[in-house]
Amino acid sequence: MKLYRTASSLVIEDGGRYYPMNGRSFDSFVCDNDLYRTLDGIVSRETPLHGLDIENLRAPIGDQEVWAAGVTYYRSRNARMEESKGGGDFYDRVYSAERPELFFKSMPRNVVGPMGTVRIRRDASWSVPEPELALLVSPKAEILGYTIGNDMSSRDIEGLNPLYLPQAKVYDGSCGLGPCILIQKEPIVASTKIQMDIVRNEEVFFTGTTSLTEIKRNLQTLVEYLFRDHTFPHGCFLLTGTGIVPPDAFSLQARDEIRISIDGIGMLINTVA
């Protein structure tokens, strides 16, 4: 099943049909103790809609904070080591350490949804999108579903000094999420492919792929670390790191279109302001 949020309601997609989830907030859904039964009940009771109101899709989020894991792919470790002016060793050490890198990414109010506009910082000279599998996690630390995340990053700022990471990562329009939550009881399969295309002047300027087989960390272990001595009453999102890094000569420009696809979830499209 997939869960969408539109301007007027939550919508469940099941077997190619769309069912309204009237009167339920996104947060009540994340905190539901018997979510799958609730969803099955809605699908069996409700009359399907004529279709999905694509024009009015919103980021599938309520009151959840967005957190992110870093340096979970070898590709990301190498890119950080190369960009870093003196702190390269940090990235190698965190890649090999038992404790993962976890950082705060976004308040819900700053999250950009499908077809929304993401931003590059005005004081950055080297900006990239980071296409990542995002986990929706319940207050009890259960992975409820999966979506697509874009961890927009300023590589020059982080490269100057790893302590500048929050400035490189957290600013207005720096986090994309959507288009829907893939809800399933079984873990997402390791062969799941992630692809990113960046379109400039109507042509594909960059394309890259990876798959979840490349991720070094176990997803549930990342969640376990995030929830250690940290309570999330509304649950949270956790971006799981990037395995796609454009070549060093590449930096995003205004009007670039970022298309991120993950098997089984769909495609998140955002334009750079």
Among 2, 5, 58, 80, binds ligand DO4 (CB under 6 A): 80
Instruction: Please report, as a single letter, which amino acid is at residue 237.
Output: F
* Contacted entry of ligand DO4, Mg ion, none for residue 256, CB cut-off 5 to 8 Å set by kind: none
For residue 42, report the phi and psi dihedrals to the nearest 5 degrees.
Answer: -65, -45
Which partner in ligand DO4, Mg ion, none is near 71 (CB below 5 to 8 A by kind)?
ligand DO4
Q: Does 242 bind ligand DO4 (CB under 6 A)?
A: yes
Please say which residue, 130 or 158, places its beta carbon nearer to Mg ion.
130
Angle between helices 74-83 and 88-96 (to 10 degrees): 160
Our finding on whether 71 is near ligand DO4 (CB under 6 A) is yes
Q: Based on CB atoms, which residue is closest to ligand DO4, 80 or 234?
A: 80
* 93-152 positions binding ligand DO4, by CB under 6 A: 101, 130, 151
Site string for Mg ion, 223-242 (x = CB under 5 A): -------------------x
**80 binding partner (options ligand DO4, Mg ion, none; Cβ < 5 to 8 Å by kind):** ligand DO4
Beta bridge partners of 197: 207, 259
> Would you give the distance in Å from CA 211 to the centre of its chain?
15
**Contact flag: residue 266 with ligand DO4 (CB under 6 A):** no
Residue from 13, 101, 151, 256 touching Mg ion (CB under 5 A): that is 151
Per-residue x/- marks for ligand DO4, 192-221, CB under 6 A? ------------------------------
Residue 101 touches which member of Mg ion, ligand DO4, none, C-beta under 5-8 Å by kind: ligand DO4
* Residues 188-217 close enough to bind Mg ion by CB under 5 A: none
Shortest spacing between CB 103 and Mg ion, in angstroms: 9
Residues 6+ apart with CB under 8 A from 208: 131, 195, 196, 244, 245, 246
Residue 242 C-beta: closest distance to ligand DO4, Å:
4
Residue 76 interacting partner from ligand DO4, Mg ion, none (CB closer than 5 to 8 Å by kind): ligand DO4
**Residue 234: both structure tokens together:** 């509304």
User: With CB under 5 A, what is the number of residues at the site for Mg ion?
Assistant: 3
Q: Note the residues at the interface with Mg ion (CB under 5 A).
A: 130, 151, 242
Q: Note the residues at the interface with ligand DO4 (CB under 6 A).
A: 68, 70-72, 76, 80, 101, 130, 151, 165, 241-242
